[in-house]
Amino acid sequence: MNTPRRIWLTGASSGIGAALAHALLKQGHQLALTARNQVLLQSIADAHPQQVLVLPADLTDATQVAQVAQSIQTHWGTLDTVILNAGTCEYIDVANFEAAMIQRVINTNLIATAQCIEAALPLLRQGVSPHLVGTSSSVVFLPLPRAGAYGASKAAMTYLFNSLRIDLAHENIAVTLIHPGFVDTPLTQKNDFSMPMRWGSTKAASYIADKLVKRPFEINFPRAFIWFLKTCARLPKSWQFALTKQLKK
């Protein structure tokens, strides 16, 4: 990451993704930016015309994902880093439990991510010090009320990346998982509950960009919030249940 790299960044139109795009461009990297909103992607590209490929797509559509990979192949021929950051969140209303909502969240957060990995791996295998990065969530460390769909999708994503790290080790493809706490983004601004230790998206992006240089297994933040979640997860299940049940109130 100390020398310019060719990076595919998804979910790049807003929130952490857009802020991370700016942080990586400032470091001098070349970026292929993907999200559904082409206008917002283009606004980033206009400020860095020599560094950015704008490749809009709906990542739940495997055909569109393959087209993005083909465009990267045509322009660059390879990738050094892939940061799969696109995601969504919906909360469960247990009184009106909806399986279709869980399917929507899993399709975006897990299946679309898997489709991107399938498209990206051939390009990474030709890259320099290849690095696969995924944005999961701190919710995977502790079950929280109403977060069943989001948490299940991110827990599956975390398991997938941890397993891939083992499978890809012999190819020297590094795998990093990002587990953010609450970050101020258009998605979290819809939340109807307090968000302790919330970071701004620029602060979060700067932290991620700096940490990626060392290709760690995980990038977790804020530290105090992650410590709290992991500590609660180690409590006896009855204590953990009593504590998290209060959060629903």
pLDDT at 246 over 60: yes
The CA–CA distances, whole Å, from 208 to 40, 159, 229 equal 21, 20, 20
pLDDT at 198 over 90: no
Q: State phi, psi for 165 to the nearest 5 degrees.
A: -55, -40
- Looking at residue 25, its pLDDT comes to 97
The pLDDT tens digits for 90-113 are 999 999 999 999 999 999 999 999
- Looking at residue 127, its pLDDT comes to 96
Tokens of 175: 């795998």
- Looking at residue 159, its pLDDT comes to 98
Region 115-119: mean pLDDT is 98
- Looking at residue 1, its pLDDT comes to 55
Of 247, 176, 173, 248, the C-alpha closest to 210 is: 176
Of 183, 167, 188, 191, the C-alpha closest to 219 is: 183
Q: Which long-range contacts (CB under 8 A, 24 or more apart) does 211-217 make?
A: 212/1, 212/81, 212/131, 212/133, 212/176, 213/1, 213/2, 215/129, 215/131, 215/174, 215/176, 216/176, 217/165, 217/175, 217/176, 217/177
* Mean pLDDT over each residue of the chain, to the nearest integer: 94
**Does 187 or 239 have the greater pLDDT score?**
239
pLDDT band for position 3 (50/70/90)? confident
Region 168-174: mean pLDDT is 98
How far apart, in whole angstroms, are the C-alpha atoms of residue 13 and residue 39? Answer: 9
Tokens of 197: 């230790």
Residue keyed to tokens 């502790």: 142
- Looking at residue 112, its pLDDT comes to 98
pLDDT band for position 57 (50/70/90)? very high
Tally of residues, the chain: 249
- Looking at residue 2, its pLDDT comes to 62
- Looking at residue 131, its pLDDT comes to 98
Radius of gyration of the chain (CA): 18
pLDDT at 40 over 90: yes
222 prior amide bond cis, ω within 30: yes
Of 38, 30, 48, the C-alpha closest to 12 is: 38
- Looking at residue 245, its pLDDT comes to 87
Residue 153: CA atoms inside 13 Å, Cβ hemisphere, count?
A: 25
Per 3-state DSSP, the chain is made up of helix, strand and coil in percentages (nearest 5) of 55, 15, 35
Domains defined along the chain, listed by start: 6-248 (3.40.50.720)
